[in-house]
Amino acid sequence: MLACAGLSTAEAWSDPSTQSADGGLPGQASPKTAGPPVAQRKPHGEELFGEARSDDYFWLRDKQSSEVRAYLEAENAYTAAMMAGSSQFQEALYRELVSHLKETDLSVPYRKGDFLYYYRTEQGKQYRIYCRKQGTLSAPEEVLLDLNEIAKTEKFVGVGGLEVSDDGWQLAYRLDTTGFRQYTLHVKDLRSGKLGPERIPRVDSVAWARDNRTLFYVVEDDTKRPYRAYRHTLGSTEADVPIFEEKDERFTLTVARSRSLDYLFLESSSHTTSEWRYLRATTPTGSFRLIAARQQDHEYSVDHRGERFYILTNRTGRNFALASAPVSKPGPEQWKTLIAHSDAVMLTGLDVFQDFYVLKQREGGVPQLRVTDFRTGSSTRVPLPEPDYALFPEANEEFQTTSFRFGYTSLVTPRSVFDYDVHAQQRRLLKQDEVPGYDASLYQAERLEAVAPDGTKVPLSIVFRKGLRRDGQAPLLLTGYGSYGAPFWPAFEPGRLVFLDRGVAVAIAHIRGGGEMGKRWHDDGRMLKKRNTFTDFIASAEFLIAEKWTTAGRLVIRGGSAGGLLMGAVTNLRPDLFKAVVALVPFVDVVNTMLDPTLPLTVGEFEEWGNPRKETEYRYILSYSPYDNLAAKAYPAMLVLTSFNDSQVMYWEPAKYVARMRRLKTDANPLLLKVNLDPAGHGGKSGRYEQLRERAFEDAWMLQQLGVAPVESTVPGSTN
């Protein structure tokens, strides 16, 4: 059953019935050429709505099976063999990627209480070192957490957040050492440097009370749903008692602390509905009180100042309004509208300070910041220097301040950190990431617009090196996401330079299902309108070809997770439109996954994809699910990447997808599967140099598919 096909590790998995008469595998140029592993077909069926469903590769779900492991190792060996000729190119690309990285660097320090907090990196070290100084930056450095020390005994290191107690002397942090995004809570005494006895598994969120001894935390159930909150007293040896449990499987639970430090919040939220509770941080043994009971399709979030709560709510419109309510009676009947709902402007976030608040908005697909002074009531939009850009959150821990901090970037502007002085109405650049070897004047970004089949205008962002010829022959990389209402912002990526400097343009399609154009943009690309996501992307590709940015023979597409679903769906619909496809941890087995409520995320995501136990929703999902719609036809070249320990998209989805495509496809184009079998997660390996090596592998494959000659880099770089 295990047949050696010229692969040196974990003999290639082969079904003899698929071999040709000369002993080779179908589609191979020569019987001397090693063929790809071919997964066995083991019928597994069920009946749904009177129809028989069969899944020949269901057996790949058995994570403990040596048979499964052997098959995945064979896929890796085949991929390694197919990519062996590009090893020098991969190494050159890796050195090039490292050359654009400022290896020894320091984040912008932020103040919290008596301390200034920051992290730094050191050349040759994989991970961040979290530090602080007391009072001023001239004070001695105190190392809070050096992830490189943890990495001496762990192959994967992921930190889920650092929370320091109000007095500054207790550090709670969550650590993942498997890649499965299951974090264990630790508490470190910063005076002694010693760890406390706490080793609490499956902790998803943490918040301190005022007394510096009481810690609230939320744990996950077996499906990785954060569902139960506990109160813990430092040093206690007694079992913690639950204080709240979220029983509705559509909802997840989060604990947090207000910036004012006066309140603790418990948020229960689904994809469409939310419910908040509050407790004074000075009375940690008290009970959380309800703000507004959940109502289907009513989402709201809460912040605090003085005697009032400030609430973003969509009860009067999908794009949200801003209201406030007295802390003493915060129910919805007391909500006073401060900013009414607008169809043109979506309110996406709120930060409340002692003297002002900051609203995060989206208008015309562009993010904005609007500052309102509590004393005068005046409101000002923060001016930003480019027409197309991305904003990202920065630490704003101080409640009493005259400024707030935000991050900014664009396709040509590296990540930048600003302070905005509310009184002077001026922004001040604190730091722009240094990107060695980058000259912004050599590159250009534009905002484009495609038209979907239903007439909807779909924005695109594109960046290229100046001098690019618009003759229809230039290579182009098109990316997209289009799910969960998550925007795909036009942010700077140093790694993108390996494409731009070789004459490859890079474009982002801001398709429906994302949130760039407001809440309705998301609504029009989810549930029974999900196919709009795919047709928007296809329209974007057709537009780029029609406008002579590229041609189908030099167009590569790339997407990950739900963006990997996008890759699979559009490849089924228009395989002729793309030269090659990269699918990262792709969600491609939609029907089978959504039929299994024991898997992480499934039940909660019924409100994003639909519930296939309902016939109408089942048939709609079935109409686009990439795994179910594979057919006997020609497909573009494809590289599929996943991790054995991925917690978000199980490894078997891409493995099954590749196995079935390999059986059905009629072309001779390469189809490669690479499985991270070492500890790795949804984002791959955890070390920054390890990630660059993975990126170099992926980039080498794409550049070769685009016909960009592999020129050895002359830039000296690290060999870590």
- As annotated, the active-site residues are 561, 646, 682
**Rounded to the nearest 10 degrees, how much is the dihedral formed by the CA atoms of 262, 268, 271, 273?**
-90
End-to-end CA distance of the chain: 40
* Strand 637-643 with 671-676, pairing: parallel
Cα–Cα dist 580/308, whole Å: 55
Pairing of the two strands 129-134 and 115-121: antiparallel
Q: Are strands 214-220 and 203-208 parallel, antiparallel or unpaired?
A: antiparallel
Distance CA 424, CA 402 (A): 9
Question: 690 phi and psi, to 5 degrees?
Answer: -60, -40
Contact 341, 312 (CB under 8 A): no
- Edge to edge, the sheet with strand 403-409 lists 390-393, 403-409, 416-421, 426-432
Phi and psi of 267, rounded to 5°?
-110, 125
Tally Cβ neighbours within 10 Å of residue 623. Answer: 12
The DSSP call for residue 355 is S
Which amino acid, 403? S
What tokens were used for 161? 């957040």
Burial class (CB in 10 A: 0-12, 13-18, 19+), 430: middle
Upper half-sphere CA count for residue 306 (Cβ side, 13 Å): 11
Sign of CA dihedral 463, 467, 472, 476: negative
Asked whether the beta carbons of 142 and 187 are under 8 A apart, the reply is: no
d(CA 10, CA 68): 11
Residue of 655, 653, 652, 642 whose CA lies nearest to 681: 642
Is-contact 184 200, C-beta < 8 A? yes
673 neighbors 75 (Cβ within 8 angstroms): yes
Look at the chain and count its residues: 720
Beta-sheet strands, E only, within 481-610: 505-509, 555-560, 580-584
Q: Which of 558, 646, 491, 494 is nearest to 158 (CA)?
A: 646
CA distance 523 to 690: 37
What are the phi and psi torsion angles at 431 (to 5°)?
-165, 140
Helix, strand, coil % (nearest 5) of the chain?
20, 30, 45
